[in-house]
Structure 1
Amino acid sequence: MLVVVSDTHAREESKLQGRTAEAVREADLVIHAGDFYREPVFDAFRSAAASLRAVYGNNDDAAIRDRVPEVRTVEYAGVRFAVTHRHRSGDTGLVMLGRGRDADAVVCGHSHRPRFDDAGRLPILNPGSHAQPRGNRPAHAELTPSDEGEGAELDGRLVTPDGETFETFQIAGGNAE
Protein backbone atom coordinates (compact mmCIF):
# COMPACT_ATOMS: atom_id res chain seq x y z
CA MET A 1 0.00 0.00 0.00
CA LEU A 2 1.07 3.57 -0.78
CA VAL A 3 0.07 6.21 1.77
CA VAL A 4 0.12 9.93 0.98
CA VAL A 5 0.15 12.61 3.69
CA SER A 6 0.91 16.31 3.81
CA ASP A 7 0.86 19.46 5.92
CA THR A 8 1.70 18.11 9.35
CA HIS A 9 2.83 21.54 10.68
CA ALA A 10 4.23 20.24 13.96
CA ARG A 11 7.28 21.02 16.05
CA GLU A 12 8.25 17.71 17.64
CA GLU A 13 6.08 14.75 16.60
CA SER A 14 4.27 13.31 13.59
CA LYS A 15 0.77 13.88 15.03
CA LEU A 16 -0.20 10.55 13.49
CA GLN A 17 -3.36 9.14 15.05
CA GLY A 18 -5.89 6.39 14.42
CA ARG A 19 -6.12 5.01 10.90
CA THR A 20 -3.53 7.50 9.62
CA ALA A 21 -0.93 6.15 12.08
CA GLU A 22 -1.83 2.54 11.20
CA ALA A 23 -1.65 3.24 7.47
CA VAL A 24 1.77 4.90 7.71
CA ARG A 25 3.14 1.95 9.71
CA GLU A 26 1.59 -0.65 7.33
CA ALA A 27 2.55 1.08 4.08
CA ASP A 28 5.16 -0.20 1.66
CA LEU A 29 5.83 3.44 0.79
CA VAL A 30 4.80 6.79 2.29
CA ILE A 31 4.83 10.04 0.33
CA HIS A 32 4.82 13.26 2.37
CA ALA A 33 4.00 16.30 0.23
CA GLY A 34 5.70 18.85 2.47
CA ASP A 35 5.22 21.11 5.47
CA PHE A 36 6.49 18.85 8.21
CA TYR A 37 7.47 22.21 9.80
CA ARG A 38 10.43 21.17 12.00
CA GLU A 39 13.14 18.50 11.59
CA PRO A 40 12.04 16.28 14.55
CA VAL A 41 8.71 15.78 12.74
CA PHE A 42 10.52 14.62 9.59
CA ASP A 43 12.58 12.21 11.73
CA ALA A 44 9.39 10.89 13.38
CA PHE A 45 7.96 10.07 9.94
CA ARG A 46 11.20 8.35 8.93
CA SER A 47 10.93 6.20 12.06
CA ALA A 48 7.26 5.35 11.53
CA ALA A 49 7.39 4.56 7.79
CA ALA A 50 9.15 1.59 6.24
CA SER A 51 10.04 3.80 3.28
CA LEU A 52 9.51 7.58 3.07
CA ARG A 53 9.73 9.83 0.00
CA ALA A 54 9.22 13.48 0.86
CA VAL A 55 9.46 16.98 -0.53
CA TYR A 56 9.76 20.17 1.46
CA GLY A 57 7.00 22.73 1.78
CA ASN A 58 6.95 26.49 2.13
CA ASN A 59 6.90 26.26 5.96
CA ASP A 60 9.66 23.68 6.40
CA ASP A 61 12.81 24.72 8.23
CA ALA A 62 16.28 24.81 6.66
CA ALA A 63 17.25 21.44 8.15
CA ILE A 64 14.42 19.72 6.24
CA ARG A 65 15.20 21.66 3.05
CA ASP A 66 18.75 20.36 3.27
CA ARG A 67 17.52 16.75 3.43
CA VAL A 68 14.73 16.53 0.84
CA PRO A 69 14.06 18.11 -2.56
CA GLU A 70 11.36 20.59 -3.51
CA VAL A 71 10.12 18.27 -6.29
CA ARG A 72 10.65 14.57 -6.86
CA THR A 73 9.36 11.69 -8.94
CA VAL A 74 8.11 8.57 -7.16
CA GLU A 75 7.04 5.27 -8.73
CA TYR A 76 4.78 2.74 -7.08
CA ALA A 77 3.31 -0.41 -8.65
CA GLY A 78 3.95 0.89 -12.17
CA VAL A 79 2.39 4.31 -11.57
CA ARG A 80 4.63 7.39 -11.72
CA PHE A 81 3.93 10.44 -9.53
CA ALA A 82 5.37 13.94 -9.68
CA VAL A 83 5.43 15.18 -6.08
CA THR A 84 5.64 18.80 -4.91
CA HIS A 85 4.16 20.85 -2.11
CA ARG A 86 2.57 23.51 -4.29
CA HIS A 87 2.90 25.32 -7.59
CA ARG A 88 2.48 29.07 -7.94
CA SER A 89 0.55 28.56 -11.19
CA GLY A 90 -2.10 26.36 -9.55
CA ASP A 91 -3.46 23.27 -11.26
CA THR A 92 -2.10 24.30 -14.67
CA GLY A 93 1.41 24.47 -13.24
CA LEU A 94 0.96 21.15 -11.45
CA VAL A 95 -0.12 19.46 -14.68
CA MET A 96 2.84 20.97 -16.55
CA LEU A 97 5.18 19.76 -13.81
CA GLY A 98 3.71 16.27 -14.05
CA ARG A 99 3.92 16.15 -17.82
CA GLY A 100 7.53 17.35 -17.69
CA ARG A 101 8.34 14.37 -15.45
CA ASP A 102 6.38 11.84 -17.55
CA ALA A 103 4.09 11.30 -14.56
CA ASP A 104 0.76 9.53 -14.49
CA ALA A 105 -0.47 11.80 -11.66
CA VAL A 106 0.63 14.72 -9.50
CA VAL A 107 0.72 14.71 -5.70
CA CYS A 108 0.65 18.06 -3.92
CA GLY A 109 -0.24 19.58 -0.57
CA HIS A 110 -0.41 23.16 0.74
CA SER A 111 -4.18 23.81 0.73
CA HIS A 112 -4.96 21.38 3.59
CA ARG A 113 -8.03 20.42 1.52
CA PRO A 114 -8.22 16.74 0.54
CA ARG A 115 -9.16 16.24 -3.09
CA PHE A 116 -8.72 14.06 -6.12
CA ASP A 117 -9.29 15.77 -9.46
CA ASP A 118 -9.07 13.83 -12.72
CA ALA A 119 -11.04 16.29 -14.85
CA GLY A 120 -7.88 17.71 -16.45
CA ARG A 121 -5.08 16.24 -18.53
CA LEU A 122 -3.39 14.69 -15.48
CA PRO A 123 -4.95 13.57 -12.18
CA ILE A 124 -4.08 15.67 -9.13
CA LEU A 125 -4.12 14.19 -5.63
CA ASN A 126 -3.96 16.35 -2.51
CA PRO A 127 -4.27 14.24 0.66
CA GLY A 128 -5.18 17.24 2.79
CA SER A 129 -3.77 17.41 6.31
CA HIS A 130 -4.10 14.68 8.91
CA ALA A 131 -2.95 17.00 11.69
CA GLN A 132 -4.06 20.54 10.88
CA PRO A 133 -7.07 20.48 8.52
CA ARG A 134 -7.85 24.22 8.84
CA GLY A 135 -11.60 23.86 8.48
CA ASN A 136 -11.36 20.93 6.08
CA ARG A 137 -11.80 17.26 6.88
CA PRO A 138 -8.58 15.75 8.34
CA ALA A 139 -7.33 13.14 5.88
CA HIS A 140 -4.68 11.07 4.16
CA ALA A 141 -4.75 8.98 0.97
CA GLU A 142 -4.29 5.21 0.63
CA LEU A 143 -3.56 3.58 -2.73
CA THR A 144 -3.34 -0.14 -3.50
CA PRO A 145 -2.67 -2.00 -6.74
CA SER A 146 -5.94 -2.83 -8.49
CA ASP A 147 -7.02 -6.44 -8.85
CA GLU A 148 -8.94 -5.64 -12.02
CA GLY A 149 -7.94 -4.47 -15.47
CA GLU A 150 -4.76 -4.72 -17.49
CA GLY A 151 -1.55 -2.89 -16.69
CA ALA A 152 -0.70 -0.67 -13.76
CA GLU A 153 -3.63 0.80 -11.92
CA LEU A 154 -4.10 1.94 -8.34
CA ASP A 155 -7.33 2.00 -6.37
CA GLY A 156 -7.28 5.02 -4.09
CA ARG A 157 -9.28 6.44 -1.25
CA LEU A 158 -9.27 9.51 0.93
CA VAL A 159 -9.56 8.50 4.57
CA THR A 160 -10.00 10.32 7.89
CA PRO A 161 -7.91 9.46 10.98
CA ASP A 162 -11.13 7.88 12.31
CA GLY A 163 -11.03 5.42 9.39
CA GLU A 164 -13.92 6.88 7.37
CA THR A 165 -13.45 6.64 3.59
CA PHE A 166 -15.09 9.69 2.03
CA GLU A 167 -13.89 9.47 -1.57
CA THR A 168 -12.61 6.69 -3.84
CA PHE A 169 -10.72 7.01 -7.12
CA GLN A 170 -8.41 5.21 -9.56
CA ILE A 171 -5.11 6.21 -11.12
CA ALA A 172 -3.82 4.37 -14.19
CA GLY A 173 -0.16 4.03 -15.04
CA GLY A 174 1.33 4.55 -18.47
CA ASN A 175 -0.83 7.56 -19.34
CA ALA A 176 1.94 10.14 -19.55
CA GLU A 177 2.15 11.83 -22.92
Structure 2
Amino acid sequence: MTLRLLMLADTHVPARARALPPDVWAAVDDADVVLHAGDWVDVGLLDALSSRARRLVGCFGNNDGAALRSRLPLVAHVDLDGLRVGVVHETGAASGRERRCDEAYPDLDLLVFGHSHIPWDTVTPRGLRLLNPGSPTDRRRQPAATYVTATVQDGRLDDVTLHALPVRR
Protein backbone atom coordinates (compact mmCIF):
# COMPACT_ATOMS: atom_id res chain seq x y z
CA MET A 1 0.00 0.00 0.00
CA THR A 2 1.33 3.45 -0.90
CA LEU A 3 0.84 6.31 1.56
CA ARG A 4 0.56 9.84 0.18
CA LEU A 5 2.19 12.49 2.40
CA LEU A 6 1.74 16.24 2.63
CA MET A 7 4.41 18.20 4.50
CA LEU A 8 3.72 21.70 5.82
CA ALA A 9 5.42 24.13 8.16
CA ASP A 10 5.19 27.78 9.15
CA THR A 11 1.58 28.30 8.13
CA HIS A 12 1.23 31.29 10.50
CA VAL A 13 -2.57 31.41 10.11
CA PRO A 14 -4.02 34.01 10.70
CA ALA A 15 -0.92 36.08 11.54
CA ARG A 16 0.65 36.03 8.04
CA ALA A 17 -2.30 34.72 5.99
CA ARG A 18 -6.05 34.58 6.61
CA ALA A 19 -6.21 30.94 5.52
CA LEU A 20 -4.32 28.18 3.79
CA PRO A 21 -4.34 28.52 -0.02
CA PRO A 22 -6.90 26.37 -1.89
CA ASP A 23 -4.08 24.29 -3.47
CA VAL A 24 -2.94 23.29 0.01
CA TRP A 25 -6.46 22.28 1.08
CA ALA A 26 -6.69 20.16 -2.09
CA ALA A 27 -3.37 18.52 -1.12
CA VAL A 28 -4.78 17.87 2.38
CA ASP A 29 -7.76 16.10 0.78
CA ASP A 30 -5.42 13.97 -1.39
CA ALA A 31 -3.03 13.00 1.42
CA ASP A 32 -3.20 9.96 3.64
CA VAL A 33 -0.97 11.70 6.21
CA VAL A 34 -0.36 15.41 6.81
CA LEU A 35 2.87 16.30 8.62
CA HIS A 36 3.01 19.84 10.06
CA ALA A 37 6.31 21.13 11.48
CA GLY A 38 4.99 23.94 13.66
CA ASP A 39 4.21 27.62 13.73
CA TRP A 40 0.48 27.12 13.30
CA VAL A 41 -0.07 30.33 15.37
CA ASP A 42 -3.79 29.70 15.98
CA VAL A 43 -5.48 26.60 17.37
CA GLY A 44 -8.24 27.06 14.78
CA LEU A 45 -5.96 25.79 12.03
CA LEU A 46 -5.05 22.73 14.10
CA ASP A 47 -8.76 22.02 14.56
CA ALA A 48 -9.51 22.55 10.86
CA LEU A 49 -6.66 20.27 9.74
CA SER A 50 -7.56 17.69 12.39
CA SER A 51 -11.12 17.50 11.13
CA ARG A 52 -10.21 17.41 7.43
CA ALA A 53 -7.01 15.35 7.24
CA ARG A 54 -7.21 11.56 7.26
CA ARG A 55 -4.26 11.55 9.68
CA LEU A 56 -2.42 14.55 11.13
CA VAL A 57 1.00 14.45 12.79
CA GLY A 58 2.42 17.72 14.04
CA CYS A 59 4.51 19.58 16.58
CA PHE A 60 4.47 23.09 18.00
CA GLY A 61 6.76 25.89 16.87
CA ASN A 62 8.32 28.93 18.50
CA ASN A 63 5.33 31.13 17.54
CA ASP A 64 2.75 28.75 19.00
CA GLY A 65 1.17 29.67 22.31
CA ALA A 66 -0.01 27.67 25.28
CA ALA A 67 -3.17 26.32 23.62
CA LEU A 68 -1.16 24.70 20.83
CA ARG A 69 1.67 23.59 23.10
CA SER A 70 -0.83 21.80 25.33
CA ARG A 71 -2.02 19.72 22.36
CA LEU A 72 1.18 19.16 20.38
CA PRO A 73 4.61 17.74 21.25
CA LEU A 74 7.97 19.43 20.76
CA VAL A 75 8.89 16.48 18.50
CA ALA A 76 6.29 14.16 16.97
CA HIS A 77 7.22 10.59 16.02
CA VAL A 78 5.34 8.27 13.70
CA ASP A 79 6.04 5.03 11.85
CA LEU A 80 4.65 5.18 8.32
CA ASP A 81 4.74 1.76 6.70
CA GLY A 82 8.19 1.12 8.21
CA LEU A 83 9.57 4.64 7.62
CA ARG A 84 10.53 6.17 10.98
CA VAL A 85 9.52 9.83 10.84
CA GLY A 86 10.08 12.74 13.19
CA VAL A 87 8.52 16.19 12.96
CA VAL A 88 10.18 19.13 14.74
CA HIS A 89 10.07 22.87 14.23
CA GLU A 90 13.69 23.96 14.71
CA THR A 91 16.97 22.26 13.87
CA GLY A 92 19.28 25.26 14.29
CA ALA A 93 21.56 26.93 11.78
CA ALA A 94 22.03 25.44 8.32
CA SER A 95 25.75 25.05 8.99
CA GLY A 96 26.27 21.73 10.76
CA ARG A 97 22.59 20.71 10.49
CA GLU A 98 23.29 17.22 9.13
CA ARG A 99 25.74 16.35 11.93
CA ARG A 100 23.45 17.76 14.65
CA CYS A 101 20.41 15.89 13.33
CA ASP A 102 22.33 12.61 13.02
CA GLU A 103 23.26 12.95 16.70
CA ALA A 104 19.86 14.15 17.92
CA TYR A 105 17.68 11.71 15.92
CA PRO A 106 19.58 8.41 15.60
CA ASP A 107 16.41 6.33 15.28
CA LEU A 108 14.77 8.23 12.40
CA ASP A 109 14.77 7.78 8.64
CA LEU A 110 13.08 11.13 7.88
CA LEU A 111 13.00 14.40 9.80
CA VAL A 112 10.53 17.06 8.67
CA PHE A 113 11.31 20.51 10.08
CA GLY A 114 10.43 24.16 9.61
CA HIS A 115 11.27 27.55 11.14
CA SER A 116 13.32 29.11 8.32
CA HIS A 117 10.56 29.18 5.66
CA ILE A 118 13.31 27.98 3.30
CA PRO A 119 12.85 24.62 1.55
CA TRP A 120 15.60 22.13 2.40
CA ASP A 121 16.25 18.59 1.20
CA THR A 122 19.44 16.80 2.17
CA VAL A 123 20.59 13.42 3.43
CA THR A 124 22.92 13.17 6.41
CA PRO A 125 26.06 10.98 6.44
CA ARG A 126 24.07 8.34 8.36
CA GLY A 127 21.26 8.42 5.77
CA LEU A 128 18.67 10.54 7.61
CA ARG A 129 16.60 12.52 5.09
CA LEU A 130 16.04 16.13 6.17
CA LEU A 131 13.09 17.95 4.60
CA ASN A 132 11.84 21.47 5.19
CA PRO A 133 8.73 22.19 3.09
CA GLY A 134 9.12 25.96 3.38
CA SER A 135 5.91 27.89 4.05
CA PRO A 136 2.68 27.85 2.04
CA THR A 137 1.68 31.28 3.35
CA ASP A 138 4.81 33.31 4.11
CA ARG A 139 7.50 32.99 1.45
CA ARG A 140 9.74 35.65 2.99
CA ARG A 141 12.83 35.86 0.77
CA GLN A 142 11.88 32.83 -1.33
CA PRO A 143 10.56 33.13 -4.89
CA ALA A 144 7.30 31.34 -3.93
CA ALA A 145 5.37 29.92 -1.02
CA THR A 146 5.85 26.14 -0.91
CA TYR A 147 4.83 22.76 0.45
CA VAL A 148 6.06 19.19 -0.17
CA THR A 149 4.32 15.98 -1.16
CA ALA A 150 5.81 12.48 -1.19
CA THR A 151 4.87 8.83 -1.05
CA VAL A 152 5.88 6.05 1.32
CA GLN A 153 5.81 2.36 0.52
CA ASP A 154 7.54 -0.49 2.33
CA GLY A 155 9.56 1.94 4.45
CA ARG A 156 10.85 3.88 1.45
CA LEU A 157 10.26 7.59 0.78
CA ASP A 158 9.65 8.35 -2.91
CA ASP A 159 8.22 10.98 -5.23
CA VAL A 160 9.38 13.90 -3.07
CA THR A 161 8.04 17.01 -4.79
CA LEU A 162 8.40 20.65 -3.80
CA HIS A 163 5.31 22.56 -4.91
CA ALA A 164 5.51 26.31 -5.52
CA LEU A 165 2.29 28.25 -5.07
CA PRO A 166 1.34 31.22 -7.23
CA VAL A 167 2.55 34.48 -5.76
CA ARG A 168 -0.38 36.37 -4.25
CA ARG A 169 -0.43 40.11 -4.64
The residue that corresponds to 2:137 in the other structure is: 131
The residue that corresponds to 2:34 in the other structure is: 30
* Pair 1:48–1:135, CA change in 2 (3 A): farther
Whether contact under 8 Å (1:33, 1:84) holds in the other structure is yes
The residue that corresponds to 1:154 in the other structure is: 157
Q: Does 1:9 align with 2:12?
A: yes
Equivalent residue for 2:122, pick from 117, 126, 129: 117
* Pair 1:66–1:125, CA change in 2 (3 A): same
Deviation larger for 45-54 or 116-125: 116-125
**Distance in structure 2 (CA, Å) of the matches to 1:73 and 1:37:** 21
**Distance in structure 1 (CA, Å) of the matches to 2:63 and 2:23:** 25
1:32 aligned partner, one-letter code = H
SS in 1 for 2:134: coil
Aligned length: 156
The residue that corresponds to 1:166 in the other structure is: none
* Pair 1:11–1:119, CA change in 2 (3 A): same
SS in 2 for 1:75: strand
Deviation larger for 88-97 or 48-57: 88-97
The residue that corresponds to 1:175 in the other structure is: none
Q: Please provide the CA RMSD for this pair.
A: 2.0
> Residues 8-65 of structure 1: CA distance to partner in whole angstroms, max 9, x if unpaired?
1113887322432211111111010000011112112212311111100000011000
* Pair 1:31–1:66, CA change in 2 (3 A): same
Q: Does 1:44 align with 2:48?
A: yes
The residue that corresponds to 1:74 in the other structure is: 78
Q: Does 1:93 align with 2:96?
A: no
User: Structure 1: where are the runs of 5+ without partners?
Assistant: 163-177
* Pair 1:114–1:89, CA change in 2 (3 A): closer
1:44 aligned partner, one-letter code = A
> Residues 66-105 of structure 1: CA distance to partner in whole angstroms, max 9, x if unpaired?
0010012122232111211003465133332221xx1112
**Distance in structure 1 (CA, Å) of the matches to 2:122 and 2:51:** 31
User: Structure 2: where are the runs of 5+ without partners?
Assistant: none
SS in 2 for 1:40: helix
SS in 1 for 2:48: helix
TM-score (ref. length: structure 1): 0.79
The residue that corresponds to 1:169 in the other structure is: none
